[in-house]
Amino acid sequence: MHLPSARSWERPHPAFLTLLLFLALFFYLPIGSVLLKGFFPKGSFDPSVFIDTVTSPYTLRILWFTFFQAILSTLFSLMLGLPGAYLLSMYSFPGRKLVRAASGVPFVLPPILVVLGFVIFFGNSGLLNSILMRLFDLSEPPLRVLYSLKAIILAHGFYNFPIALRLIASLWQQLPPSQEWAAQTLGAPRRRLFFTIILPQLMPAILAASALIFMFCFTSFAIILVLGGGPQFTTVEVEIYRLAKTSFDIPAAGALSIIALVLTLGIMGIYVKLQNKMAFHQELSSGPVRPRSYNRPSKTGFIGIAVYIAAMLMIVAGPLVAVVVRSLQKPVTRAGELSFTLEWYQQLFSSGAGQFGRIALPAIRNSVLIGILAAAAAVVVGTALSYLTVRYRLKFGRLIDTLSMAPLAISSVILGLGYFLISRTIPDLGRARIFMIVAAHAVIAYPFVARTVSSVLKKIPPSQLQAAMLLGASPGKVFRTVEFPVMLPALAAAAAFAFAISLGEINATLVFSSSTVTIPLAIYRMIGSYNFFGACALGTILVAVCALAFTLFDVSGNTEI
């Protein structure tokens, strides 16, 4: 007897309707409220604000700079990621695992932590300049990169190069070596072999990585807000925040949000097409995977590898180490001499907390509470949506899948603006404000949960589910006894990752409710008040939690973009 794939003939449980209601209330309603403000600034249709905003020379300059910095940042990220993808795919060398592990560190770090690390490491009084001044007996810092376009590009490269490294390496490692062996047998030099055989096959991964990195740089907020240093380097996201929270020009912010949404959705569409093309190439590359010891580097190769690892460690580990070191220091003289101290951490765990503890402790409590609730909601929503799209053949399944993944393409700044507009219609939010933040964080995190769980559900053989059903097991019992045990490790990893995402989220929180202080908001305010020591102590706590979350996520094997 032939059975169709499990549950393909059943209608989804009515409980799934509540999940669609969650998306409608906490994602599409806020986004819709922003879009309406762009076309209905005073309650009635009036496109003049939108037209004036679109045609404004100031807006056009902002759009140009947003594209310009995103292009430069994408190219720099590729420059950092391509050599790493080449090393991981071609060579076996000491430190190979270190390169892969280091490449994953920026992938999970909150943007505000990247900002803090760059200020402490690359600042005029930062760790790198201090070392260089002592080595070469200089009276002034030799590197001045902060609050400039160079700082923006450097930070974006640090934050996004793992995407290029991992996407390109994942395809490169699957390319069958037979074509390369044949070309080498015919006497083709290594350079010609790369440009004529390898590079054309890698282009889908390179283009997909470029599109995704470009979108992240295009919608970057915290990095531009702090490291840009002024209106000269304003981007679309920063301008939306300025219009909404500083100028209180909500209609103009809504109009600019419409422009941003159209552009980001277009970029996301390009990425999806390129990713599908990349998946098709991976299916075609069905030959044997290149052994890890395919090539052993020559002496010159070892030097190149050592230089790359050193540069990566400086770019990746340098800012993080600087944050940890600065959190253990305290100025003892007006000249800026520093001494070792645990004062910042003692204030966190002592009953009579000092000024730093009075700021940090509420931020930690709020972040942990919001993170736990947001992770729980993200796991429930993400799991149910992945189960809905994988286990049922729905008439509009592809449409539902696309609509449910839309938060990946929508800026969290615009989402926060939507929550801000909704909150203005509620007389007294009170404690409900923190639950709106939880909902916003859950919306941002659940797509990652859904992708993780979906990849596990697709690997469960339908024959196991069919066998259980033939033996009389109900759908609920099949889920509890067959599917859930297999999904559990991935669910734990996804929950940890969702918690880390919530813990480091600043964009939506800053735009919606800056009065609810979280760890990223506290760090942002400490940077603004030049309390870098306290900011580094909070940042170190954030680094530890995010590192643990990413370790769980990476070990589970579900780190695909």
What's the pLDDT tens digit per position in 452-473? 888 888 887 777 777 777 767 6
User: Which CATH superfamily does the domain covering 47-327 fall into?
Assistant: MetI-like (1.10.3720.10)
Torsion on CA atoms 206, 207, 212, 215, rounded to nearest 10: 130
Q: What is the mean pLDDT of residues 115-129?
A: 86
Using the predicted structure, report yes or no on whether residue 291 has a pLDDT greater than 70.
Answer: no
HSE toward the beta carbon, residue 66, CA cutoff 13 A: 25
Q: Average pLDDT of the chain? A: 81
Please report the pLDDT score of residue 414 as a whole number: 92
Q: CB of 543 within 8 A of CB of 113?
A: yes
Q: Could you tell me the pLDDT band of residue 404, with boundaries at 50, 70 and 90?
A: confident
Please report the pLDDT score of residue 279 as a whole number: 63
Q: Which of 83-97, 230-244, 488-502 has the lowest mean pLDDT?
A: 83-97
pTM of the predicted model over 0.95? no
C-alpha–C-alpha distance, residues 507 and 413, integer Å: 5
Please report the pLDDT score of residue 387 as a whole number: 81
C-alpha–C-alpha distance, residues 422 and 410, integer Å: 18
Residue tagged 């300059």 (tokens): 61
The neighbouring-strand residues paired with 559 are none
Using the predicted structure, report yes or no on whether residue 43 has a pLDDT greater than 80.
Answer: no
Please report the pLDDT score of residue 183 as a whole number: 62
Delimit the domains of the chain by residue range: 47-327
Please report the pLDDT score of residue 295 as a whole number: 65
Q: Could you tell me the pLDDT band of residue 293, with boundaries at 50, 70 and 90?
A: very low
Please report the pLDDT score of residue 2 as a whole number: 42
What's the pLDDT tens digit per position in 531-557? 888 889 989 988 887 777 766 666 655
Please report the pLDDT score of residue 214 as a whole number: 93
Q: What is the mean pLDDT of residues 310-326?
A: 84
Percent of the chain with pLDDT over 70: 83
Structure tokens at 541: 């706590």
Give the residue, 521 or 408, on which the prediction is more confident: 521
Please report the pLDDT score of residue 73 as a whole number: 95
Please report the pLDDT score of residue 462 as a whole number: 73
Please report the pLDDT score of residue 290 as a whole number: 47
For 520-529, the CB contacts below 8 A with 24+ separation are: 520/110, 520/112, 520/113, 520/222, 520/367, 521/363, 522/359, 522/360, 522/363, 523/112, 523/113, 523/116, 524/112, 524/222, 524/226, 525/359, 526/359, 527/115, 527/116, 527/119, 527/226
Q: What is the mean pLDDT of residues 58-75?
A: 94
Q: Could you tell me the pLDDT band of residue 3, with boundaries at 50, 70 and 90?
A: very low
Among residues 169, 171, 168, 175, which one has the least CA distance to residue 193? 175
Please report the pLDDT score of residue 396 as a whole number: 65
Q: Could you tell me the pLDDT band of residue 391, with boundaries at 50, 70 and 90?
A: confident
| Strand positions, DSSP E, 338-494 | 338-340
